[in-house]
Structure 1
């Protein structure tokens, strides 16, 4: 066929997984995926619509693409701002929603034959479709589409729809496929992993227990889980996370330390619920890494609400803290509220960022002297360096030459707020040694 496609992916790990499937499908159909726009016949943008700054970045990119290129837009953004919202920036050749899978191939073929194509129906691609992994050692698997929530600020639910879980059999088969192809790290992703299976008579614990029974040397990162869903399975979830197959890492968004603001956000849980979850996890797995998200500047957030957020963050001491300024998203209840002054939101963001950085620095210092097994999963930004992850998903910078996809035995010699620095004591551990070391993690 000979056509060349430049694929741009934005957004979360679900979007990245869908982008990998798009690349795999197009390659299987004879298209060539290129890494720059200039040599492409067609530009395909896989979009995200969670935040206004991301939307602005995507639309700016769309406006700068050369007029001699055919353009297809897919992902969440078209379902959030509409086809017209895309077309007013550029008169693109095709528009698709998220999780389009094989529909993308049809759209590309239609466009290259001179026809326009629009399809915003809810889709759910198969995890068993061909894919080209961005990082060969990491296999990304989507365990469900959509969610059960109705958060007042969120537009993603308009794009992804109601919860639609994949079967355990399909997920297990997809993991086996990735492992056979050389993956050593598996990401289980969705809009909210905690509610997996509610629509099919299952739950996240049942899924993880089945994943744990898969043969092979690999580790599993369980993606974001909302507190309201975790509470349903808290005791059994702690037990599953203790198993050596799983990274001792959990991403639980708090969003605000004020119960009033959480009610206004329609989050469905309290600050006390969040603290209960973290306490239970740390009681069972003392070193578990906690990641959380905070939205600063929600329209009803007053000074004392923000002070509560600061207090809770200082109390919980998350290992990873993601801070987002509030931006109104189309057709959400929160978009109808009066925004806080920009300078207030910016000041709160800076204040919380400083607190978060201090906590990360403190938490990472405590790892100096630790020894254990780590999986090398990517190259570092410094030439000749590599990034490995220990069982607690801590990023460890290694300056010695090591093989990506190998397990190494390391010692942490120093730390920075965002990463640890290690030295390799043993390279390329064999499978038996890896499992013995993980047993004691």
Structure 2
């Protein structure tokens, strides 16, 4: 778990984005710090209306950089003039709003609410299916809070999912520290059965997104799992499979329960069975034992598997973990490696969204966006923005068909061609 400090400047849209960031952080088990100097990470949500505002944003970023361990800069100036922070010598991660929660997570498993009860937020239902995990990663503090995996029965989770749908959920997000090991504590991994039953036994028009599943937990059930994806349209063709490094040596030091080959076997299986799907993965850059050669192996793996969603996190020590006792790499080196991987990431993700232009996609409207826009998800959980949504009468919970017209690197824009 991490403590955070967030500052927001600018219009009400920025205020709304900050609320969404905080919501995601709280759902992941993070909490606001009592003060800036007690925060693990500071988040600066920027404005870029006039030149004076830009100077103020750069000045505030420099102040925050000196007062906290990690700084994340997001918002309008970060998106429009992200290089200004680098040119000013600010040591920060410059990220899109949607990327901030994953960056704060620092490669750790999410921490679900203590009672693992479902949450309904608008048309999005969040269903924690279990607490805890079966891993013992050397950098992760979450395990101290959650312990080993504790899995309710499939019947109980199906009942909770049904209640969310009856309450108005159109998208159910399956969450947990590691969804791939659901049921392991009871002698059998039950994730494929759970997903199959939610999609087949619950009436209604809704979609299901599977949350983070570590490769070590998924490997061994990946063939059964991809069959469930292939059979159910309600299930987004999306899997979050955090590899963390392309180096087996680093993975061993991290005490991850997989090696690169296992990760690639899972990806190859999904590639063989699904025509259109999204691979989401995470990389930790600058782990204390990471050499130049290790980093290059991570870069090569990213270029080879070409995930459509990639979270790049600079390693940050968590108190009480074994990795915190390792001699760390210098901040400049971590920054250089992060910048190189983030640049490659943007190329890979942009190519994926570029390939969507001209296609038609059936989507679910999941959230209001900035101004008169809505955020939609297609069958592979890729984000498509519809502008001037009121002209089409679109609101969260609607299903429609879009033509993808353009993209902005990490999301696409679309125009409705039919409303369902």
Provide the TM-score with structure 1 as the length reference.
0.70
- Residue range with higher mean Cα deviation, 365-374 or 198-207: 198-207
Distance 1:158 1:173 in 2: 29
Quote the residue 2:361 is aligned against: 372
Kept in 1: contact 2:116–2:131 (CA 8 A): no
Pair 356,377 (structure 1): closer, same or farther in 2 beyond 3 Å: same
* CA-CA distance at 1:372 after TM superposition: 2.6
2:376 maps to 1:388: yes
Q: What is the aligned length?
A: 327
Alignment partner for residue 175 of structure 2, among 165, 189, 195? 189
Distance 1:54 1:283 in 2: 44
Quote the residue 1:142 is aligned against: 128
Distance 1:201 1:295 in 2: 31
2:316 maps to 1:316: no
Quote the residue 1:198 is aligned against: 184
* CA-CA distance at 1:57 after TM superposition: 4.1
Alignment partner for residue 219 of structure 1, among 207, 232, 235? 207
2:220 maps to 1:209: no
Kept in 1: contact 2:367–2:395 (CA 8 A): no
Quote the residue 1:246 is aligned against: 235
Q: How does 1:226-375 map to 2 (within 5 A)?
A: 226-242=214-230, 243-375=232-364
Pair 285,12 (structure 1): closer, same or farther in 2 beyond 3 Å: farther
Q: How does 1:66-215 map to 2 (within 5 A)?
A: 123-127=114-118, 131=119, 133-134=120-121, 136-202=122-188, 203-213=190-200, 214-215=202-203
- Residue range with higher mean Cα deviation, 209-218 or 289-298: 209-218
* CA-CA distance at 1:126 after TM superposition: 4.1
User: Does the residue aligned with 2:220 lie in a helix, a strand or coil?
Assistant: helix
Distance 1:142 1:247 in 2: 17
Distance 2:20 2:412 in 1: 28
User: Does the residue aligned with 1:149 lie in a helix, a strand or coil?
Assistant: coil
Quote the residue 2:78 is aligned against: none
2:409 maps to 1:414: no
Kept in 2: contact 1:99–1:125 (CA 8 A): yes
Q: Which has the greater radius of gyration?
A: 1
1:248-278 deviation digits (Å, cap 9, x = unpaired): 0110001001111011111021111111111
* CA-CA distance at 1:99 after TM superposition: 6.0
Quote the residue 1:55 is aligned against: 40
1:172-222 deviation digits (Å, cap 9, x = unpaired): 111111111111000000010000011124421111121122111100000
Kept in 2: contact 1:9–1:15 (CA 8 A): no
Kept in 2: contact 1:17–1:140 (CA 8 A): no
Kept in 1: contact 2:403–2:416 (CA 8 A): yes
Q: Please give the root-mean-square deviation of Cα atoms over the aligned residues, in Å.
A: 2.4
Quote the residue 2:92 is aligned against: none
* CA-CA distance at 1:9 after TM superposition: 9.1
Distance 1:370 1:348 in 2: 35
Kept in 2: contact 1:371–1:409 (CA 8 A): yes
Kept in 2: contact 1:223–1:251 (CA 8 A): yes
* CA-CA distance at 1:125 after TM superposition: 4.3
User: Does the residue aligned with 2:405 lie in a helix, a strand or coil?
Assistant: strand
1:206-239 deviation digits (Å, cap 9, x = unpaired): 1112112211110000000000111120110110
* CA-CA distance at 1:13 after TM superposition: 5.6
Q: How does 1:426-441 map to 2 (within 5 A)?
A: 426-427=418-419, 429=420
Alignment gaps of 5+ in structure 1: 1-7, 19-44, 62-97, 101-122, 430-441
Kept in 2: contact 1:13–1:140 (CA 8 A): no
Distance 2:158 2:169 in 1: 14
1:109-160 deviation digits (Å, cap 9, x = unpaired): xxxxxxxxxxxxxx53444xxx5x33x1100010010100000111110011
Provide the TM-score with structure 2 as the length reference.
0.73
Kept in 1: contact 2:363–2:379 (CA 8 A): yes
* CA-CA distance at 1:55 after TM superposition: 3.0
User: Does the residue aligned with 2:319 lie in a helix, a strand or coil?
Assistant: coil
